[in-house]
Amino acid sequence: MNRSNNYRFGLTGIVLLTIIVASCDLIRMKKEESAAIPSRKPVARVNDKYLYQDELVGIVDQNSTADDSAARTTAYINSWIRKQLIIGEAMKRIDINEAEVERKVLDYRYSLIGYEYQNFYIQQHLNDSISEKEIETYYKGHSDNFILKQNIVRGTYIKVPKTAPRTNKVKEMIFSKKEKDQNELKSYCLSFSVAYHLSDSSWIEFDKLVVNSPMAEIPSKIQFLKTNPFYETNDADFLYFLKVEDYKISDNVSPLEFVKERIRNILLNKRKVELARALEDEVYENAVKQKNFEIFNQ
């Protein structure tokens, strides 16, 4: 079992599935008889190896159309033929260590089936509720892991066409503390702006905020943030407004709010790894008690 903290789902299962199909095809070469069994209907042959109708069960989804089913079946048969041809060529050209192949197939089988069961077990037992205290404790204990790689800001950014109405009122609405004006600004942005980010508690990378604006080309962004709590500029087609409420410079520790979701995922992942380890230990200990396995002297 992979005991690392980077517990991988999704892509790992797909890769393992691809490998085990190819490996099982190789093992099946030893076990299939050289001629087709009368009670089974062959659908393809490569030399003395056969693919049977019953081996196609489950390839096609029950809800698939007739055309989709035919296409998927044809694709599988063609893939099987190509694999058998490669395997046959390999068997002629190189020496195959059958025992090693068997061990690898067993490992792949364990990984695939074990992965599916671990997923099921984790879904049944995972507590995905992460408290604010847990997040804060982890943040304080691992602050060196959350060093900023980019400058980040909290504030308001608006990009609006020069042809939009009432552009002379935008700055006034940005600075207003009245709820009425804040609602009007949001409505204005929804109606006329090309891009906007309104002031709230969320942090955003400065480069992402001002992308496709003249501010993206500013050579010294740190100096810019230090000296421009409000900045207004334009180009041929647009007006740009930026009001910076707060900022943090790269190479400093991230604010907790900026990495909160990342920490939540880290803690969830740790729980998943712990559950996977607990499952393996539980199954092993039960097997020991029930004497379900034994090791013989070599």
Q: Is 28 exposed, middle or buried (CB count within 10 Å of its CB: 0-12, 13-18, 19+)?
A: middle
pTM for this structure?
0.66
- 160 forms bridges with which residues in the sheet? 239
Q: How confident is the model at residue 282 (pLDDT cuts 50, 70, 90)?
A: very high
Of 49, 38, 34, the C-alpha closest to 83 is 49
15-56 confidence digits (pLDDT tens): 344 444 444 454 454 445 444 445 889 999 999 999 999 999
- Whether residue 55 contacts residue 41, with contact meaning beta carbons closer than 8 Å, is answered with no
Average pLDDT over residues 65-85: 93
- Residue spans of the domains in the chain: they are 11-117, 126-142+262-298, 148-248
Distances (CA, A) of 73 to 64, 76, 149: 11, 5, 49
Average pLDDT over residues 116-138: 96
Average pLDDT over residues 227-236: 96
Q: How confident is the model at residue 64 (pLDDT cuts 50, 70, 90)?
A: confident
Average pLDDT over residues 116-132: 95
**Ranked by mean pLDDT, which of 20-24, 56-60, 229-233 comes out on top?**
229-233
Computed over every residue of the chain, the mean pLDDT equals 88
